[in-house]
Amino acid sequence: DTGVSQDPRHKITKRGQNVTFRCDPISEHNRLYWYRQTLGQGPEFLTYFQNEAQLEKSRLLSDRFSAERPKGSFSTLEIQRTEQGDSAMYLCASSLDGQLNSPLHFGNGTRLTVT
Amino acid sequence: GNSVTQMEGPVTLSEEAFLTINCTYTATGYPSLFWYVQYPGEGLQLLLKATKADDKGSNKGFEATYRKETTSFHLEKGSVQVSDSAVYFCALSAFGGGADGLTFGKGTHLIIQP
């Protein structure tokens, strides 16, 4: 079990720059989720995919945030024109099926610092 | 909307002490309830879950019972170990909102001293 892999582990960027994070889920998992976690808070749901279809994106924090999963395998989360308030840990998770039937497996996250 | 409230940390206990971490929730419909744990330097892991009222989830000596009448899902362990030191998150999943995303509490940092 290789687990959920996220890259990079850390990203430092200047305000106004664009950043892209990658998530590789467990290979047979159909569902892929993105969460954001700020210091002292629990993870906050952003969006999720069933294979390549993005089934929920209304929770994305603004139109600067977008996510893709073009072939139903890995996913990318892009933040355009970053702001200091975007500094957080971005978590990816995958599951075989819906959450009642199979647990979410989380990656270790990408920590974003916007200066 | 859906929300989860759990006790503030850090919680510091001695080894072999009894643990309770309180969790209450607000949700529409009938949510499923979860406890996740995050050990230092690792990703979140599912600890236990319960999908309907009066269900008891259990794993690694931890237990939690889904109490619909008090909207609670308190985490308990009879005798904690140093290796239980971690951050614990209570979460719910409420279908009907359509998002299929978990709603998490803020987390409780547990420190077990030898």
pLDDT at A75: 97
In the three-class reduction of DSSP (H, G, I as helix; E, B as strand; rest coil), residue A84 is classed as helix
pLDDT at A99: 54
Query: Nearest chain B Cα to A97, which residue?
Result: B100
Chain A residues within an 8 Å CB radius of B96: none
Q: B101 — contact with chain A (CB < 8 Å)?
A: yes
Least confident of A24-28, A55-59, A82-86, B73-77: A55-59
Q: A43 — contact with chain B (CB < 8 Å)?
A: yes
* Digit-coded pLDDT (tens) for A7-38: 999 999 999 999 999 999 999 898 999 999 99
Strands A19-24 and A5-7: antiparallel
Name residue, tokens 């008891």: B56
* Digit-coded pLDDT (tens) for A49-71: 989 998 877 778 889 999 999 98
Q: Extract the tokens encoding B32.
A: 């499923």
Q: Is B38 within 8 Å of B44 (Cβ atoms)?
A: yes
* Digit-coded pLDDT (tens) for B25-68: 998 878 889 999 999 888 899 999 998 899 999 999 999 999 99
Distance in angstroms (rounded) separating the CA atoms of residues A81 and A18: 5
pLDDT at B53: 92
Query: Nearest chain B Cα to A39, which residue?
Result: B106
pLDDT band at A100 (very low <50, low <70, confident <90, very high): low
Q: How remote is the C-alpha of B102 from its chain's centroid? A: 13
Question: What is the DSSP secondary-structure string of B32-70?
Answer: EEEEEEE-TTS--EEEEEE-STT-EEEETTEEEE-BTTT
Q: A25 — contact with chain B (CB < 8 Å)?
A: no
pLDDT at B62: 98
